[in-house]
Structure 1
Amino acid sequence: MRASLLQIAVDEGESVESRRVRVAALVREQAGTADLVVLPELWTTGAFAYESFATEAEPLEGPTYEAMAAAARDARVWLHAGSIPERDPDGPLYNTSLVFSPDGEPAAAYRKIHRFGFDQGEAVLMSAGTDLVTVPLPGTVLGLATCYDLRFPELFRGLVDAGAETLVLCAGWPERRRAHWTLLAQARAVENQAFVLACATAGTHAGVAQAGHSIVVDPWGEVLAQAGPGEQVLTVEFDPARVPAVREEFPALKDRVLGLTAPRR
């Protein structure tokens, strides 16, 4: 399987609509190159541009949905279209990832469960999702996660229990914590014996420099490819059959002990 991670630069000087058109063109350019294309988190607004969330929020089937569905169809790729600020018809905002099939049909939507901000920013402006989401592709099953989710291994265990073999994460990760980005991506791959495809933004969101350095890690924790700090298309070929092979060769997942509780004091 071939995957292209589109590490999009998000800067204040470009309008949301202009970036939407530009990104759709980049997706179309992956035709014949990739089977799966992955975009970053909140690339329309910027993950730290909190003041834009309400004004730029759109319904699930809004302009970004329409543009990305058409791009996936034209390129004949599976497209993880990153995430958008979604406005639910009942009012709440969500940080929602979208996945489309090569026919341009919706395959999944994932509302981010762990919101970042420590009672500020996204943590108070967005509602939390509640459901784990997997997407069956020919040859593998994707498990979806978004940015801050990367710090919570129990989410990824749940995805593995639901059949995930390739963990796909979109992010707007800050440069000042870039070392954690690489470390955690490798940890999630090793502990779950799964591929990790983690696509981040470049540029600066509301004064917050972005890490970039999108990364692809194999089930043994080896880094197959990693981008630099700027806008870049990172394309890598990987073999989904490696996952069951590693899990059979080193069956650590079979030794999990579930239901552990702290001792009473």
Structure 2
Amino acid sequence: MRASVIQIAVDEGESVESRRRRVASLVRDQAGADLVVLPELWTTGAFAFEEFGSEAEPLEGPTHEAMAKAASDAGVWLHAGSIPERAPDGTLYNTSLLFSPSGERAASYRKIHRFGFDKGEAVLMGRGEDLVTVRLPETTVGLATCYDLRFPELFRGLVDAGAETLLIPAGWPERRRDHWTLLARARAVENQAFVLACGTAGTHARVPQAGHSIVVDPWGQVLAEAGAGEEVLTVELDPRKVAVTREQFPALKDRVL
């Protein structure tokens, strides 16, 4: 299975519509991949809190339309990162979108753990409630977003629901980059699953981003890691390695809680 992780640079001087077109083009460039992953809130920037309301869109808004078309054009499964979604009742959510190679939306996931400690995203956006897994031809993916990475019980739930590959878009700040790579590897090791963690580059609302998107195998080996700038990681994954790892080192069978 060929996976491409696209680490997008969010330039505050670039309009959302311009970035949307540019990212769609980058997705189309990945024709031949099986799975493509984008970062969290790449339309606005994860820390551009003041723009969440003005740039929020319905689930089937312009980003949905552009990414569905890009997935279909490239013939890939596309995790289109997340958008600021405005629900019909007016509530905002940090919502991830997953599209099939035909351009159909296969799933959406509203972020459960909102970052901000009673400010920012934590007060501006509603909390998601549902764990989401989707069966792809090669693997079952589990969806999580950024701050979710710090809560291992969420990933246990995804594994219990059949997840073998964990997709984690993020807008992670540079000052906590060591946590990003450490937690991505920890989630892979403890769940014996592939982790594809896609971050952003650039600066969001004066917050420098970590970049360093990372792909980790079920044994915790780093298969690829980006630098600080915009970059595309393309990695060949063997989905059978999940079952092999879980059979050879059956730690998950010894769970008590």
TM-score scaled by structure 2?
A: 1.00
Q: Which runs of 5+ in 2 are unaligned?
A: none
Structure 1 partner of 2:63 = 64
CA apart distance, 1:12: 0.7
Equivalent position of 2:201 in the other structure? 202
Partner of 1:169, secondary structure, is: strand
- Aligned match of 1:151: 150
In structure 1, give the amino acid aligned to 2:203: T
For 1:217, the aligned partner's letter is V
Aligned-pair distance for 1:63?
0.1
1:10 aligns with 2:14: no
Aligned 1:27-66 pairs, distance under 5 A:
27-32=27-32, 34-66=33-65
Distance 1:236 1:8 in 2: 17
State the SS of the aligned residue for 1:154.
helix
Measured after TM superposition, the shift of residue 11 of structure 1 is 1.5
Question: What code does the residue aligned with 1:7 have?
Answer: Q
Structure 1 position 217, deviation (Å):
0.3
Task: Report the 3-state secondary structure (helix = DSSP H, G, I; strand = E; otherwise coil) of the residue aligned with 1:142.
Answer: strand
**Is 1:227 matched up with 2:226?**
yes
* Matched positions, count: 257
| TM-score, normalised with respect to structure 1 | 0.97
Partners of 1:4 and 1:219 lie apart in 2 by 18
Counterpart in the other structure of 1:21: 21
RMSD over equivalenced CA pairs, Å: 0.4
Query: Identity rate of aligned residues, in percent?
Result: 82
Paired letter, 2:7: Q
> Is residue 242 of structure 1 aligned with residue 241 of structure 2?
yes
- Matched residue type, 2:118: D
Equivalent position SS for 2:186: helix
Alpha-carbon distance between aligned partners in 2 of 1:10 and 1:135, rounded to the nearest angstrom: 28
Structure 1 segments unaligned to the other structure (5+ residues): 259-265
For 2:206 and 2:138, the matched residues in 1 are separated by 41
Deviation per CA, 1:121-169, whole angstroms, max 9, x where unpaired? 0000000000000010012100000000000000000000000000000
Q: Rg larger in 1 or in 2?
A: 1
Structure 2 residue identity aligned to 1:59: P
